Structure 1
Amino acid sequence: MAERQFVVFKLGKEEYGIDIMNVKEIGPYKESTKIPNSPSFIEGIINYRGEVIPIINLKKRFKLKEKEIDGNTRIIVINLGEKQIGFIVDEASQTARLSDEDIDPTPDIVAGIDRRYITGVGKLDERLIILIDLEKVLTESERKEIENMDI
């Protein structure tokens, strides 16, 4: 029985999990600098440890109702190919260990583009955690657009 560790974060009331191996760092929210003519879900860019990285608002990307930035808001930084990229989440407060038997496959009700990045549903006590692959949240053309941004 294999066990995997996930970083659990919130968008609104829903809990999501990403494989801890994909996470470079979780940091406090930083105001980003807007970039003209960028996709609407790109919040802007920040200086992250001397490197300029794009910041994606996951709520905008998932078309969820946005919430005010507060003291719980975090930026999760991952490696996306050669680039680092940050994702704004409402809260990222814990890690969870899930065994393979605690993870169900993506439900059939999830269709289309969502199915690409939802890898399953984790069951932790009475909670359901939507497991996603942040590397697949962006379409191929969106990834190229970010890679071609002059930053």
Structure 2
Amino acid sequence: MTERQYVICKINEEEYGIGIEYVKEIGEYQNPTRLPDAPNFVEGIINVRGVITPLIVLRKKFNKQNKELGKSCRIIIIYFKGKQLGLIVDDASQVLRINEEDVMPPPHVVEGMEKQYVSGIATLKERMIILLDLKGILSMSKDNTQTQSA
């Protein structure tokens, strides 16, 4: 029985899991410097310990209802395939161990780009956690072109 640890974050009331091996830190929201002509889900850039870090608003990337960003949001700093990025979420405050046997593949009704964002669905008693595929999130924009930050 293989288990992995995931940082659990929320967008609206939905829970998402990011493999802990990619998470460097979780911090409070800070106002970014805007980039000209960036995709709408790239909020801008911040300086994290001397590293210029692009910020991706997962709410926008997932086409969820937009909400004003502020102090209640969190930034999850990840390091993936040699790049450091920040993911803006509503909340991130828990780490869970999830057994591989509790993870199911994404349902077939998930079509197109959204399927690339999901690596699986974890079912834990009465909770369902959408496990994120960072490669899909960071490599594709809404129009199937490479993002400037990935």
Common fold by TM > 0.5 = yes
How do 1:36-47 residues align onto structure 2 when only pairs under 5 Å count?
Answer: 36-47=36-47
Q: In 2, are the aligned partners of 1:98 and 1:122 still within 8 Å (CA)?
A: yes
How do 1:1-150 residues align onto structure 2 when only pairs under 5 Å count?
Answer: 1-138=1-138, 139=140, 141-143=145-147, 145-146=148-149
Q: In 2, are the aligned partners of 1:5 and 1:97 still within 8 Å (CA)?
A: yes
Where in structure 2 are there 5+ consecutive unaligned residues?
none
Q: In 2, are the aligned partners of 1:4 and 1:19 still within 8 Å (CA)?
A: yes
Deviation by residue 1:85-140 (Cα, 9 ceiling, x = unmatched): 11100000101111111111111111111212201101122010011122321317
CA RMSD of aligned residues (A): 1.6
Q: In 2, are the aligned partners of 1:57 and 1:89 still within 8 Å (CA)?
A: yes
- How many residues align structurally? 146
- Structure 1: 4+ residue segments shifted above 4 A: none
Structure 1 CA distance for aligned equivalents of residues 134 and 24 of structure 2: 12
Structure 1 CA distance for aligned equivalents of residues 64 and 40 of structure 2: 13
Structure 1 CA distance for aligned equivalents of residues 82 and 100 of structure 2: 30
Structure 2 CA distance for aligned equivalents of residues 101 and 84 of structure 1: 30
Percent sequence identity is 46
Structure 1 CA distance for aligned equivalents of residues 68 and 127 of structure 2: 25
CA spacing shift, 1:38–1:71, aligned 2, 3 Å: closer
Where in structure 1 are there 5+ consecutive unaligned residues?
none
Structure 2 CA distance for aligned equivalents of residues 46 and 61 of structure 1: 19
TM-score (norm 2): 0.90
- Following superposition, the deviation at residue 58 of structure 1 comes to 0.7
Deviation by residue 1:40-96 (Cα, 9 ceiling, x = unmatched): 111001011111111111111111012233443110111233321111000001011
